[in-house]
């Protein structure tokens, strides 16, 4: 199913490279000890650099400023043996020193990960990740209507050709719209910055709820448990109010 999906993106044939990447390369990029190497390596079946978008392979100009360097974009596919949380794994892959569109698959499920990067002002030869962006897992065999709308929206011809930064940012915007659609019931590219802020607040409140729930499990005092449940209810109410802002 992944092959069908990647073909649907309509990337230029000349950008296709299909180069296998060895896990050892990422050990060196990340300075992993043996234990970290094992945790990174265990769930991964293969890592493939599928496409390289450069000025020579697609008619998009690079963008280089004091803070940004978007001169090429790598499309990379990580195939998993077993489903695993993508955060730590993707952070390692995104250490590649240019923008990466990362596809993580487990059987017929797909997660898309991007990382917004800026030039490290203390060391201009390096890029610093400002933020990681991940989609939810998508079942490619049984996509929902919103899944299909999102996947179609990241086709190459639906993205900006103004420069590589705008091209990459367009994919980020579509992941934000996809996340919002799970809560609003509508896939829309309008009000993306505002929706991103709302989603970030919802995530922060949800993380706090999870923390409080774990605290309740360990708490022996009844009154304290009651207070914690009240706090959870207030946070849940705030999340419900924020969801209305996504409509």
- The predicted model gives 53-57 an average pLDDT of 96
- The predicted model gives 218-246 an average pLDDT of 85
pLDDT of residue 247: 67
CB atoms within 10 A of CB 147: 20
Q: Quick one: CA dihedral 5, 10, 11, 17, positive or negative?
A: positive
- Cβ atoms of 113 and 136 within 8 Å: the answer is no
State the pTM of this model.
0.85
- The predicted model gives 204-210 an average pLDDT of 88
pLDDT digits (tens, 9 = 90+) for 122-148: 766 677 888 899 999 999 999 998 899
User: Backbone dihedral region of 107: left (phi > 0), alpha (psi from -120 to 50 degrees) or beta?
Assistant: left
10-14, 19-23, 223-227: which has the minimum mean pLDDT?
Answer: 223-227
pLDDT digits (tens, 9 = 90+) for 211-231: 999 999 888 888 888 888 889
pLDDT of residue 25: 85
State how far the alpha carbon of 171 is from the alpha carbons of 189, 208, 241, in Å.
11, 28, 27
pLDDT digits (tens, 9 = 90+) for 71-125: 999 999 999 999 888 888 999 999 998 899 999 999 999 999 999 998 877 766 6
pLDDT of residue 35: 82
- The predicted model gives 33-39 an average pLDDT of 83
pLDDT digits (tens, 9 = 90+) for 100-110: 999 999 999 99
pLDDT of residue 125: 64
Compute the mean pLDDT over every residue in the chain, rounded to the nearest whole number: 89
pLDDT of residue 41: 87
- Cβ atoms of 162 and 59 within 8 Å: the answer is no
pLDDT digits (tens, 9 = 90+) for 149-172: 999 999 999 999 999 999 999 999
């Amino acid at each position: 199913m992944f092959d069908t999906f990647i073909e649907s993106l309509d990337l230029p044939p000349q950008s296709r490279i299909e180069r296998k990447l060895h896990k050892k390369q990422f050990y060196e990029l990340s300075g992993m000890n043996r234990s970290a190497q094992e945790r990174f390596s265990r769930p991964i079946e293969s890592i493939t650099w599928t496409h390289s978008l450069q000025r020579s392979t697609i008619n998009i100009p690079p963008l280089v400023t004091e803070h940004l360097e978007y001169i090429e974009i790598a499309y990379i596919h990580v195939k998993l043996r077993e489903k695993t949380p993508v955060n730590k794994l993707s952070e390692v892959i995104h250490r590649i020193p240019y923008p990466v569109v990362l596809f993580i698959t487990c059987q017929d499920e797909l997660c898309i990960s991007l990382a917004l990067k800026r030039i490290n002002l203390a060391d201009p030869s390096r890029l610093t990740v400002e933020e990681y962006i991940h989609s939810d897992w998508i079942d490619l065999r049984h996509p929902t209507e919103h899944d299909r709308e999102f996947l179609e929206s990241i086709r190459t011809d639906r993205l900006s050709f103004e420069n590589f930064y705008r091209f990459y940012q367009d994919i980020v915007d579509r992941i934000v719209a996809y996340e919002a659609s799970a809560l609003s019931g509508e896939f829309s590219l309008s009000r993306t910055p505002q929706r991103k802020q709302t989603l970030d607040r919802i995530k922060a409140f949800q993380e706090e709820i999870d923390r409080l729930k774990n605290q309740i499990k360990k708490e022996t005092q009844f009154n304290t448990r009651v207070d914690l449940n009240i706090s959870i209810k207030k946070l849940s109410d705030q999340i419900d109010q924020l969801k209305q802002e996504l409509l």
